Amino acid sequence: MTALACLRIFVGADLCFTDTDSMAALVAKVAGAYLETTWKWPRRYGLVAPFSFVLADPRAERLDARELQDLARALQHKLFGDQGDGDVTLLTFEGDQTDVMRFAGATALQLKGLLDGEDDGAFAGRVCKITPTDVSSVAPPGGPVAGEPPMEALRAQEHMVAPARTAYRGVFHTQREVFVGNISVWREAGSVSVFGMEPPAADASEAGHDIPNLESARRALEGETSGVMFFPISFSTLVKPSARAELTPYLETLPQASRARLAAAVYDTPRAPSFSALSQMKQYLNPFFGRIDLRVSDPAFQVDDLPPDLASSVTLMLPTGVEAVRLAAISRFMRDAAGYRRKRIWQGVTDVRNRREVNACIELGVPFITGPGVTDLLETPAHVSPCSALHLPLHDWSARVTGAAASQVA
């Protein structure tokens, strides 16, 4: 039971979109501030296009349109003042995922009938029209605007704080266009992710998070029978005897039957690690993991110096900073593709943040990619499933395809 809707915001005296970045940014800021205080966890929301949000509530079967009237009033006041000449109108659409995303990308002209309060049948679902003074059902005409359960019942529920937990980023095979696994990402208590509205930031990995992340993600394995699960482990932990001793009891709880699809994602790997450190790491991890992924920050990582059969993959963590620097790092990393093939080591890129970076990885032949441009931070692992690159990123509200469509994981 998860209610899913697209929220479209129309501004201007003629109820048309104002096609300016400044107006879109202001609307996003006002709407984001409202949703941050009212649309709390376990609800999810995200900005999927200018003036378009997706709202999801796992506690409801139908969203309550009345709850969004305060947003219409806040936008009206912020944009036009109490006596302004402009108008604000919100449309909410509830239907299947395909129609929700189609609604998010529709033009104002395509939605003119709905804005006029008439259902032209273009979208099969529930549509409500919300203004600062009125809330009405457009489709079905005269239908209910209250939710199931209504907003009064939801507000009476005890406020929930997001617990400390593991979230997931799906690992995407670009050539086969299929999700092949997940990497676990630790989230502190109270942390939520809001797609499209948070400043770009890499998924932080800290040695202190490795053990709770390992425990949490291990439990998720019980419900996932296919696909690779990557567990982040600090390189520094693996070269310190005391840190290894602390980690060992938790590694011993990993299911041996799943070893072939378990991968150690060794982050903060130096540019030129010593042979002895790598050998020690391999010997320690081998009983628990079927794969070792070295996570590096240097696109010129010395792959030719790696001992044979030490790692199955090397993944580049993109640098922070401007997009041009990040794109240049992808290009430099893939310049050594022939060397990686000779070593029979897969290449991957993580922290891929947007469509341009996804496209660059595909064009340059990066086999595996992860990051916000590939999936949102997911509350449950992405299933092994086909997915067109055009449909990235995957969200918690996205339809999850199950089955063995990609049972062979390279």
Question: What ranges do the domains of the chain cover?
Answer: 3-156, 165-391
Q: Residue 135 and residue 91: Cα distance in Å, rounded?
A: 10
Q: What sign has the CA pseudo-torsion 92, 97, 103, 104?
A: positive
For residue 380, give the nearest of 46, 44, 37 by alpha carbon: 44
Amino acid of residue 54: V
CATH superfamily, region 165-391: EAL domain (3.20.20.450)
What pLDDT digit, counting tens, does each position of 333-382 carry?
999 999 999 999 999 999 999 999 999 999 999 999 999 999 988 888 99
The per-residue pLDDT for 192 is 66
Residue 296: phi and psi, rounded to 5, are -125, 155
The per-residue pLDDT for 193 is 64
The per-residue pLDDT for 404 is 34
For residue 259, give the nearest of 287, 294, 284 by alpha carbon: 287
The per-residue pLDDT for 321 is 85
- Is beta strand 52-57 parallel, antiparallel or unpaired with respect to 44-49? antiparallel
The per-residue pLDDT for 168 is 92
Element (H, E) at 129: strand 126-130
Q: Residue 385 and residue 226: Cα distance in Å, rounded?
A: 10
Q: Is 59 helix (H, G, I), strand (E, B) or coil?
A: coil
The per-residue pLDDT for 338 is 96
Report yes or no: 372 and 357 within 8 Å, Cβ to Cβ.
Answer: no
Domain 3-156 carries which CATH code? 3.30.70
Q: Residue 278 and residue 310: Cα distance in Å, rounded?
A: 8
Which portions of the chain are predicted below pLDDT 70?
1, 12-20, 82-86, 158-159, 191-205, 398-410
For residue 130, with 0-12 CB atoms within 10 Å meaning exposed, 13-18 middle and 19 or more buried, which class applies?
A: buried
The per-residue pLDDT for 225 is 72
The per-residue pLDDT for 400 is 44
The per-residue pLDDT for 98 is 82
User: Quick one: the chain helix, strand, coil %, rounded to 5?
Assistant: 35, 25, 45
The per-residue pLDDT for 339 is 96
Work out the mean pLDDT of the chain and round it to a whole number: 86
